[in-house]
Amino acid sequence: MATQIPRKRTIFFIRLMVVITTAYFILLSPVAGKELEIYGYIFIAVYLMTNLIVAYIPEKYFHDNRIFYGFILCDSILLPAGIYFSGYIGSDLYLMFFFIISLTTMSSRFGYLMINTFLFCLIYLWLLHEKGVLTGPKAGAYLIQIPFIIVIAIFYGYLITTRLKDKDMRINEVRQRYEQVVQATDVLMSIVDRDGKLKFANDIFARFYGYHEDKRLAGLTIAQVNAEDASEADKLLDYVQSVYQKNDMVRYESYNKKHNVWFANTLGPIRDPSTGDVLDVCVISKDITDRIEKEKKLNNTVELLIKTRDQLIQQDKMAALGRMASGIAHEIRNPLEIIYMGIDYLENNIAHQDPQIDGSIEKIYKAANRADNIINNILSFSRKSEYKITQIPVCQLLDNTLVLANQALHKGHVTVKREYETESLEAAGDYNMLEQVFLNLINNAIDAM
């Protein structure tokens, strides 16, 4: 890749210098006749117009050799014409023009410079022949300028070629270091055009999509490379179009279903240095699967902590409710003792006089016993006790638990039918804990109905 000096700027300023110099000699030098003077003005006007055209042509068009060398060819014709109209064919002005036009070929190859030089020499010889200066005592002085011009062009071309080669060498070194960095990175890197065609891809990109060489990817589209996931390919192409439209960087995350990998994608514009237009888009994809997995685990841990917190809060509420229930039970037991005293009084003074009274006293006594059992169960349930294994009558445990859950059963319109295979069934365990287990089961069953 040849190093190029900005062509537009070079041509514009060199041509501007040519216009100024040529105009100076045409206007201030003796010209043979008014006709040539008119042609001189026309020459200046044409050169200025063409230079204005150069000023308005975008820089990118000068990278087209047809346009660039078209201007050189135009100059190759206009400059000898300027010499001819100025009447300075026999002077060293032509040498100055030669060096000026040589500057316009600084970004071209050595061969093009020599072709341009020989073309100038032929035109110069023709002009000298037309003026008749190739014969006579001064002919040798004019002819010696031809090899001098060629030698100067060769020397000048050698200097330019050597300088360009040095620049190419430095650029190649920088390019090699750049490629080493790109290939050594752990991210997927590619360059695509507006249509989604790959222009470059590093080795890790090629291996990820199953290609042994990144060169085989050149020319393929995003859809062809990622054919297994058309939706992701379309999404990437949409973001590429967005970069072209906004001329700005785009970031987004994507998921590759085939490899089960998450990527953080960064799309950056590659701009034309002279115009700022987007030429291509660089796509960098970094594997963030570990981060996503850690985020999921973190979210699960947070959810578990929230559930644990809610359970602890509920346990605290239940503990507070147990303490409150214990206090209420003690408060209820005091009036219950008065009820027992009233029952004893009725049995001792009024009983056996009327069967209905005896039945009522019996009902009051059973209700008081039931209330007393409920209070005892509440106190037993809320009391902190150590874990103690004993032989527990299971049927009695269930009956006591149903007494505790009676209010919830009544509120939920639930009827419990007891069918015990045997009343003497026993089990080893902690009474309070088993009672709590059965109570929780009953409450859950009520809630599920």
- Return d(Cα 277, Cα 250) in angstroms, integer: 16
- Return d(Cα 98, Cα 439) in angstroms, integer: 110
Question: Could you give the count of Cα atoms lying within 13 Å of 430 in the half-sphere of its Cβ?
Answer: 11
Domain boundary among 337, 366, 384: 384
Nearest alpha-carbon partner for 192 in 284, 60, 256: 284
Q: Is 70 helix (H, G, I), strand (E, B) or coil?
A: helix
pLDDT of 32 reads 44
Answer yes or no: do 268 and 317 share one domain: no
Express each pLDDT in 315-332 by its tens digit. Answer: 777 777 667 776 777 677
Answer yes or no: do 21 and 157 share one domain: yes
Please name the residue that has the structure tokens 């445990």.
397
Answer yes or no: do 236 and 196 share one domain: yes
pLDDT of 266 reads 92
Answer yes or no: do 34 and 116 share one domain: yes
Please give the residue range of the domain that contains residue 379: 289-384
Answer yes or no: do 313 and 352 share one domain: yes
- Return d(Cα 367, Cα 349) in angstroms, integer: 20
Lowest model confidence (mean pLDDT) among 101-110, 168-177, 236-245, 275-284: 101-110
- Return d(Cα 401, Cα 425) in angstroms, integer: 16
Answer yes or no: do 260 and 337 share one domain: no
Answer yes or no: do 21 and 124 share one domain: yes
Answer yes or no: do 345 and 391 share one domain: no
pLDDT of 251 reads 92
- The DSSP symbol for 105 reads T
Structure tokens at 3: 């190093």
Burial of 78 (0-12, 13-18, 19+ CB in 10 A): buried
Q: What is the residue-wise DSSP string for 314-340?
A: HHHHHHHHHHHHHHHHHHHHHHHHHHH
Domain boundary among 366, 384, 402: 384
Domain boundary among 129, 149, 180: 180
pLDDT of 151 reads 75
**What pLDDT band is residue 27 in, cutting at 50, 70 and 90?**
low
More confident residue, 428 or 79: 428
Of 153-157, 212-216, 241-245, 273-277, the range with the highest mean pLDDT is: 241-245
**Percent of the chain residues topping a pLDDT of 70:** 75
pTM for the full predicted model: 0.47
Nearest alpha-carbon partner for 63 in 7, 17, 11: 7
Residue 234 placed within a domain: yes
- Return d(Cα 288, Cα 254) in angstroms, integer: 10
Q: For all residues of the chain together, what is the average pLDDT?
A: 75
Residue 2 placed within a domain: no
pLDDT of 416 reads 83
- Return d(Cα 91, Cα 37) in angstroms, integer: 19
Q: Which residues pair with 427 in a beta bridge?
A: 392
**What pLDDT band is residue 117 in, cutting at 50, 70 and 90?**
confident
Nearest alpha-carbon partner for 43 in 121, 97, 107: 97
Lowest model confidence (mean pLDDT) among 83-92, 275-284, 288-297, 362-371: 83-92
- Return d(Cα 100, Cα 107) in angstroms, integer: 14
Residue 125 placed within a domain: yes
**What pLDDT band is residue 79 in, cutting at 50, 70 and 90?**
low
Answer yes or no: do 304 and 258 share one domain: no
Residue 1 placed within a domain: no
**What pLDDT band is residue 81 in, cutting at 50, 70 and 90?**
low
Answer yes or no: do 375 and 389 share one domain: no
- Return d(Cα 26, Cα 40) in angstroms, integer: 6
Express each pLDDT in 132-184 by its tens digit. Answer: 777 777 777 677 777 777 777 777 677 667 767 777 788 888 878 877 777 77
Of 113-127, 180-194, 313-327, 428-442, the range with the highest mean pLDDT is: 180-194
pLDDT of residue 306 exceeding 60: yes
Residue 362 placed within a domain: yes
- Return d(Cα 158, Cα 164) in angstroms, integer: 10
Answer yes or no: do 351 and 436 share one domain: no
Pairing mode, strands 261-271 and 390-393: unpaired
- Are the C-beta atoms of 179 and 157 separated by less than 8 Å? no
More confident residue, 284 or 111: 284
pLDDT of residue 90 exceeding 60: no
Lowest model confidence (mean pLDDT) among 196-210, 226-240, 433-447: 433-447
Structure tokens at 362: 């019996």
The number of folded domains in the chain is 4
Q: What is the mean pLDDT of residues 117-133?
A: 76
Q: What is the mean pLDDT of residues 48-71?
A: 77
More confident residue, 207 or 74: 207
**What pLDDT band is residue 338 in, cutting at 50, 70 and 90?**
confident
Q: What is the residue-wise DSSP string for 343-381?
A: HHHHHHHTTTS-HHHHHHHHHHHHHHHHHHHHHHHHHHH
Which residues, other chains included, contact 223 with Cβ-Cβ below 8 Å and sequence gap of 6+?
196, 230, 233, 234, 237
Answer yes or no: do 26 and 173 share one domain: yes
